[in-house]
Amino acid sequence: MLFNLLETVNKKHPFTVLSAHCDIPCKIYDPITAQLAVLTMIRMVDLLTDLDDKKDLSLNDRAQFSRLVNEKESHGNKVKEEIRVIWGDYIKQPQLDAYPEIHELVHSIMLGTSAAKQHIDKGVTLALLGEVNRFAEIFWATKGIETFSAISPYPPEQELVYPKLNSTTN
């Protein structure tokens, strides 16, 4: 009864609304950030390998080594963060029913990213890219958007999964 009375008052003189929402419902999700972060990790491994080929490292080379490792590390964290957000916030029961592999895939991406951070190993980062691309493929499929694979037009020139989006211009 009291609730109904307050409802009537609220219709004429709305009360301040306090948010008790579970999260900010921005609905902006795109796996491309994670994909680009893996590409960056691969690129860092390539540049680190170039340094390894040098006989003696100058002071600048050593500074560069430090920067490259740091970038590889931070982009690994970005991969994990981006995948976790899509998995935790966007993926719900209907997507899990359609793609039951998602949980295992995400867990594997977490482990693969840790391995890619721990080592300077191109094979490990390429395997990680394969898994993140598969995640992107599933993500776009859940939205009913087809995908295609193409080589990124910049180093390290690896295959990425892209969504086939309709152009807004003629």
For residues 19 and 93, which CB has a smaller minimum distance to another protein in the complex?
Answer: 19
Binding mask 12-41 for another protein (x = CB under 8 A): --xxxxxxxxxxx-----------------
Torsion of CA 84, 90, 96, 98, to 10 degrees: -130
Minimum distance, C-beta of residue 10 to another protein, in the bound complex (Å): 6
Pairing state of beta strands 159-163 and 147-151? Answer: antiparallel
For residues 88 and 155, which CB has a smaller minimum distance to another protein in the complex?
Answer: 88
The count of chain residues that interact with another protein, using the rule CB under 8 A, is: 15
For residues 14 and 94, which CB has a smaller minimum distance to another protein in the complex?
Answer: 14
Burial 89-113 (b: 16+ CB within 10 A, else e): eebeeebeeebeebeebbebbbebb
Q: Retrieve residue 35's tokens.
A: 């994909």
Residue numbers of the site for another protein (CB under 8 A)? 2-3, 6, 10, 14-24
